[in-house]
Amino acid sequence: MKPFYEKRNVSPGTATRYANEIREFYTAGSDVLWITFADRRLWWCFAEPEVIPLAGGDAETTGSRYRKVIGSWSDKDLEGKPLYMNELRGSLTTVAGFRGTLCRVREFDYLLRRLNGEETPATKVARDARLALVKALIPLIAGLHWKDFELLVELVFTQGGWRRVSATGGVQDMVDLQVELPLTGEQALVQVKSKIDHGGANDAAIRLAEAAAGRRGFLVYHTGPAELTISAENVDLIRPEALAERAVDVGLTSWIMAKVG
């Protein structure tokens, strides 16, 4: 196979790579893992060993062949989590830039671990510590004075990418904060409640949706029933757990601790 390409003025190194790719395609068994990258995700599958000529073409002339996928391509790990490229190690995603047809994956152990939904012991320790921190912040946030709680919500939004376009505790009824995403110009209204129940949540959400007039609305609280839900359109309920998680993400842990004392 290599001489075939060399006779067509292909460099020896490239001819060797072409020959190896063809050999792998024809000889790889059904236990060989195949991956590719598309739509900013990693996809994987296994393939039937049979090599089939492409219908409708002259296979002898064009060399077009394919192998059937066993089952289907998947863009999720075995736990059902999507395999987004921006959440994968760069040394693996660089394979997406390979200009040939087939290549071996050097980060194979890492790839298998991600496909199996596994993580290293060190990553698990860090993840557990972060979860414990988020849980520990929930009662601290509930202990904030209502003015400090409103300020915390404002800081979470603004440090998370939103820009404040009205003061906290604005003049419009049911709106404590109006924010905007600078990149898209999307605006949202935020209502902050310290304590809330089912009836109060639905009433606040309905009134917030009316004030938003088609824009997004966020209803944020720190104390309420465990199964609190709302039915208003375009209004997102920010629960204590989510608020604590975002506070950790934007670096407000020390601020909260200092305020509570």
**Backbone Cα Rg of the chain:** 27
Q: CA separation (Å) from 249 to 21, 134, 243, 244, 245?
A: 44, 10, 10, 9, 6
The pair of three-digit structure tokens given for residue 2, joined into one six-digit string: 């290599």
pLDDT at 201 over 50: yes
pLDDT at 171: 45
Of 73, 77, 70, 65, give the one whose Cα is nearest residue 24. Answer: 65
Q: Give the span between the Cα atoms of 239 and 250, in whole angstroms.
A: 17
Q: Report residue 104's pLDDT band, with 50, 70 and 90 as the boundaries.
A: confident
The pair of three-digit structure tokens given for residue 63, joined into one six-digit string: 């060399």
Of residues 229 and 171, more confidence is placed in 229
pLDDT at 98 over 90: no
Which amino acid, residue 54? L
pLDDT at 167: 64
Contacts 24+ apart (CB under 8 A), 129-137: 130/248, 133/248, 133/253, 134/241, 134/244, 134/245, 134/248, 135/244, 137/244, 137/247, 137/248, 137/253, 137/256
What pTM, to 2 d.p., does this model score?
A: 0.71
Q: Work out the percent of the chain whose per-residue pLDDT is above 90.
A: 65
Q: Report residue 5's pLDDT band, with 50, 70 and 90 as the boundaries.
A: low
Q: Please state, rounded to an integer, the average pLDDT across all residues of the chain.
A: 88
The DSSP secondary-structure symbol of 54 reads: P
Domains assigned to the chain:
2-115 (no CATH), 122-260 (3.40.1350)
Q: Cβ distance 146 to 194 under 8 Å? A: yes
Which amino acid, residue 62? T
* Average pLDDT of the residues in 79-89: 96
pLDDT at 232: 85
* Average pLDDT of the residues in 4-32: 72
Span 213-227, pLDDT tens digits = 889 999 999 999 988
pLDDT at 190 over 80: yes
